[in-house]
């Protein structure tokens, strides 16, 4: 059982109309072929005014003098179709899509095999309900048809309501079939109206008159031949572009746009059952170079709402240099999302370590405070204290068992970024508790030779003080405070 | 002989308490049984209500300056809790200096579960704490921030209740004059290598003091040997005012009053 979805106004529906812009004057998408501009998509306002697909622009202009015009953008339609195919991947693994263009394809369509999914979604009606809800939410205008073969489904998507309901291929009008214009003209001139009449003709005659294509098509329509369509394969990354019908000049205005953008991403990730970890979001401007935002999450996620939240937090810190006319999203490699499996027996004590919420909160913190705001302390095997512990943006992997024996002398909890020199007067007042401990290393870089002491100062602090043995001239200080025993 | 006397007296007190409890009379020292976690220092546990830091509440550390053993003191409580629950984290927000990995290792802290967060403003600190509290899975949140008003502290208190983990705030000793909604306020000072710790505010009787850690040649900050006088200070119930608790007669009371003393005058055992 195949489901065909036809999108007559795909060239327009794949663009995002910002909320604030008024579409009262109508909107048209045109395509230039052989130096003639023709309409390929129109919005409901334009349709009501009498604009039709295939109409010459001059004719449409007569009906809609104020209409906003957009040039057709094939690459944009393609990425939008890949997004939709990713969504449909959740319902079917056999998908085929084609964009309108040339003689071959008259209308943008998506065909998918749904017979195998019916049981999973609880029957055909329930499955259709879900698909319909999704399509409405995404805001696409479509016509659907069901058939035993992809070609039949597509033909039924063009047919009238009553014929569509009976689903008998014999009753299809010849106008619904995918035939080239002159074949169709010849057939109707011969007095043929229905597909059933065409099926009844001997195939040898048809091949003789119209060539092998028509006969092959009719066999595919009836399922007597493999459908021969190129099936969609899931891309390795989410790479898409959204075009806005009107420029957005404030980050507040982007909220609505981002909702649409991340809805599409949510549909894609859910359908493809994938998770992503980084997403590069570029805000495209008319003249300026695009504003790039890198959303790096701490763990792969399939939750587009979370990504949207992170994007909003990042956008709050961004000053738009120019109005935004488009958005581009590029993700890293799609990963299979890992689903949480509950144990058969509820296990006590498993709830308190909530592993799912930690990456989410980490991303929120980083989105608002900056990526470097959350860090972990790493240890590097070095005798010099200032080189031994560094901050990195990820937790140290599997910290080795604390090797307390390796360094028996106590170390201060706090280290100063740069050691502070000590005045001679302070040196005499302090209480020297322990030392010296010689630390001498780093000859391959700036070598250091120091004697460390533990000192109690007059204010009650316990200091980690060293004497720099490399300091030989009088201009530099001998003694420095390096850390505090906090 | 004396120990027998003490135990029989304690039994009498316990029996009396049970009778009074029946009639709705509660001991102030046991008012509001708190969910607490041990501080890791028995001497401090004894003087705190509920015998430890409150699990759901803000504990304010008012420290004279950094470097008087204040963080090591807290790690003594946090390290075993962190080790006990392998999925939990201890979050540090705005530590005043660079942390030393070796010292943390010596305290037995797993650095992979010790995220360090840097915020620029106090508002961001409080926001971060709220976000982290929502995620849960924490053993504690430690915050170094001076610019906290009582509204911010109240938000921290709510966050702590939500997360079910203690929130510790390190502030300067000068903040002791300000009012604070924190559940527990501890003042820490140090003179000549001897800490002095005072309970400024707690649920139940406040005003108890104790000698904290000391330094010597071999170890940085460590607990002094136990002193019986300190234990008696701790167990004696006191009124909820600034008056210090009853002091063993062998000590000079006036000297005990003198705030943060420079040295310890308790005779060693």
Query: Which is higher by pLDDT, A144 or B191?
Result: A144
Whether B249 shows a pLDDT value over 70: the answer reads no
Please report which confidence band the pLDDT of residue B4 belongs to, taking 50, 70 and 90 as the band edges. low
Domain annotation for chain A: domains and CATH numbers: 1-148 (3.40.1170.60), 150-226 (1.10.150), 237-336 (3.30.1490.100), 409-484 (no CATH)
Lowest mean pLDDT among A275-289, B59-73, B204-218: B204-218
Mutate to test the interface with B, among A460, A463, A464 (most CBs of B within 10 A): A460
Whether B269 shows a pLDDT value over 60: the answer reads no
* Residue B168 forms part of a structural domain: yes
Closest approach of A452 to chain B, Cα-based (Å): 14
Closest approach of A139 to chain B, Cα-based (Å): 34
| Mean pLDDT of all residues in A324-353 | 73
* Residue B263 forms part of a structural domain: no
| Mean pLDDT of all residues in A242-253 | 84
Give the domain extent around B51.
38-256
* Residue B161 forms part of a structural domain: yes
Check whether the bond before A436 is cis (ω within 30° of 0).
Answer: yes
Rg (CA), chain A: 34
Lowest mean pLDDT among A125-134, A245-254, A353-362, B150-159: A353-362
Closest approach of A338 to chain B, Cα-based (Å): 19
Answer whether A460 sits within 8 Å of B136, measured CB to CB: no
Taking a C-beta distance cutoff of 8 angstroms, is the pair A270, A87 a contact? yes
| Mean pLDDT of all residues in A404-413 | 70
Answer whether B108 sits within 8 Å of A402, measured CB to CB: yes
The total number of structural domains that make up chain B: 1
**Using the 8-state DSSP alphabet, how is residue B174 labeled?**
G
Per-residue pLDDT of B164-195, as tens digits, reads 889 999 999 888 888 888 888 999 888 877 88
Q: How far is the CA of B81 from the CAs of A4, A159, B39, in angstroms?
A: 60, 70, 10
Answer whether B103 sits within 8 Å of A353, measured CB to CB: no
| Mean pLDDT of all residues in A147-151 | 89
Please report which confidence band the pLDDT of residue A169 belongs to, taking 50, 70 and 90 as the band edges. confident
* Residue B28 forms part of a structural domain: no
Answer whether A460 sits within 8 Å of B70, measured CB to CB: no
Percent of chain A with pLDDT over 70: 92
Closest approach of B41 to chain A, Cα-based (Å): 17
> Per the structure block, which two tokens stand in for A480?
């420095």
| Mean pLDDT of all residues in B145-158 | 89
* Residue B30 forms part of a structural domain: no
Q: Which of B97, B100, B120 sits opposite A385 (nearest CB)?
A: B100
Q: Read out DSSP for B203-235? A: SS----EEEEEE--SS-SSBPPPP-HHHHHHHH
Determine contact: B68 vs chain A, CB below 8 A. Answer: yes
pLDDT given for residue A402 in this prediction:
52
* Residue B20 forms part of a structural domain: no
Determine contact: A196 vs chain B, CB below 8 A. Answer: no
Per-residue pLDDT of A56-112, as tens digits, reads 888 888 888 888 888 888 888 889 999 899 899 888 888 888 888 766 777 888 999
Q: Which of A361, A415, A434 sits opposite B217 (nearest CB)?
A: A434
Mutate to test the interface with A, among B81, B98, B136 (most CBs of A within 10 A): B98
* Residue B18 forms part of a structural domain: no
Longest pairwise C-alpha distance within chain A:
117
* Residue B124 forms part of a structural domain: yes
Q: What is the CATH number of the domain that holds B213?
A: 3.40.50.300
């Amino acid at each position: 059982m195949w489901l065909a979805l036809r999108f007559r106004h795909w060239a327009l529906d794949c663009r995002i109309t910002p909320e604030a812009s008024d579409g009262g004057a109508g909107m048209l998408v045109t395509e230039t072929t052989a130096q003639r501009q023709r309409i390929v998509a129109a919005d409901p306002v334009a349709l009501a005014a009498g604009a039709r697909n295939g109409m010459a622009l001059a004719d449409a202009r007569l009906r809609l003098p104020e209409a906003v015009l957009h040039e057709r953008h094939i690459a944009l339609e393609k990425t939008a179709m890949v997004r939709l195919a990713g969504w449909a991947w959740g319902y079917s693994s056999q998908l085929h899509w084609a964009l309108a263009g040339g003689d071959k394809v008259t209308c943008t369509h998506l065909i998918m095999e749904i017979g195998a999914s019916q049981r999973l979604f609880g029957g055909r009606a329930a499955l259709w309900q879900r698909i319909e809800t999704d399509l409405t939410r995404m805001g696409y205008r479509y016509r659907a048809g069901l058939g035993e073969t992809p070609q039949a489904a597509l033909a039924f998507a063009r047919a009238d309501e009553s014929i569509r309901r009976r689903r008998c291929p014999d009753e299809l009008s010849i106008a619904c079939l995918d035939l080239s214009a002159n074949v169709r003209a010849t057939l109707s001139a011969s007095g043929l109206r229905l597909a059933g009449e065409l099926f009844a003709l001997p195939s040898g005659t048809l091949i003789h008159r119209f060539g092998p294509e028509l006969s092959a098509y009719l066999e595919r329509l009836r399922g007597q031949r493999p459908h021969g369509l190129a099936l969609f394969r899931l891309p390795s990354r989410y790479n898409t572009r959204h075009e806005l019908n009107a420029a957005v000049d404030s980050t507040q205005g982007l909220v609505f746009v981002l909702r649409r953008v991340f809805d599409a991403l949510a549909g894609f990730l859910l359908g493809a059952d994938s998770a992503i970890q980084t997403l590069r979001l570029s805000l495209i401007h008319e003249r300026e170079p695009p504003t790039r935002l890198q959303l790096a999450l701490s763990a792969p996620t399939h939750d587009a709402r979370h990504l949207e939240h992170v994007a909003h937090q990042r956008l709050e810190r961004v000053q738009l240099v120019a109005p935004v006319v488009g958005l581009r999203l590029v993700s890293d490699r799609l990963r299979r999302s890992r689903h949480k499996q509950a144990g058969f027996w509820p296990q006590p004590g498993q709830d308190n370590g909530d592993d799912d919420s930690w990456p989410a909160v980490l991303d929120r913190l980083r989105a608002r405070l900056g990526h470097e705001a959350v860090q972990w302390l790493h240890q590097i095997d070095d005798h010099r204290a200032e080189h031994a512990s560094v901050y990195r943006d990820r937790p140290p992997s599997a910290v080795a068992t604390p090797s307390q024996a390796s360094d028996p002398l106590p170390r201060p909890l706090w280290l100063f970024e740069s050691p502070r020199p000590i005045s001679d007067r302070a040196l005499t007042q302090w209480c020297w508790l322990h030392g010296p401990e010689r630390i001498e290393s780093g000859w391959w870089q700036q070598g250091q030779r120091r004697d460390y002491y533990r000192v109690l100062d007059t204010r009650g602090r316990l200091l980690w003080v060293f004497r720099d043995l490399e300091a030989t001239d009088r201009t530099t200080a001998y003694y420095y405070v390096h850390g505090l025993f906090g | 002989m004396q120990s027998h006397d003490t135990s029989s007296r304690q039994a009498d007190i316990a029996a009396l308490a049970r009778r009074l409890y029946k009639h709705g009379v509660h001991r102030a020292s046991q008012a509001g049984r708190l969910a607490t976690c041990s501080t890791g220092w028995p001497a401090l546990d004894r003087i705190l209500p509920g015998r430890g830091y409150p699990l759901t509440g803000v504990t304010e550390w008012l420290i004279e300056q950094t470097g008087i053993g204040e963080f090591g003191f807290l790690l003594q409580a946090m390290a075993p809790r962190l080790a006990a629950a392998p999925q939990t984290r201890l979050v540090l927000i705005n530590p005043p200096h660079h942390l030393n990995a070796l010292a943390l290792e010596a305290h037995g802290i797993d650095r992979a579960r010790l995220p360090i967060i840097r915020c620029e403003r106090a508002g961001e600190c409080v926001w971060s704490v709220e976000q982290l509290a929502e995620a849960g899975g924490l053993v504690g949140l430690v915050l170094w921030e001076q610019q906290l008003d009582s509204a911010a502290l109240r938000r921290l208190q709510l966050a702590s209740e939500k997360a079910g983990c203690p929130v510790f705030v390190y502030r300067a000793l000068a903040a002791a004059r300000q009012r604070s909604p924190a559940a527990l306020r501890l003042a820490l000072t140090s003179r000549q290598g001897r800490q002095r710790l005072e309970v400024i505010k707690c649920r139940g009787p406040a005003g108890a003091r104790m000698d904290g850690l000391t330094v010597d040649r071999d170890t940085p900050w460590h607990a002094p040997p136990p002193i019986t006088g300190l234990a008696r200070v701790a167990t004696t119930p006191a009124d909820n005012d600034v008056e210090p608790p009853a002091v063993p007669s062998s000590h000079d009371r006036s000297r005990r009053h003198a705030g943060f003393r420079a040295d310890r005058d308790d005779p060693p055992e």
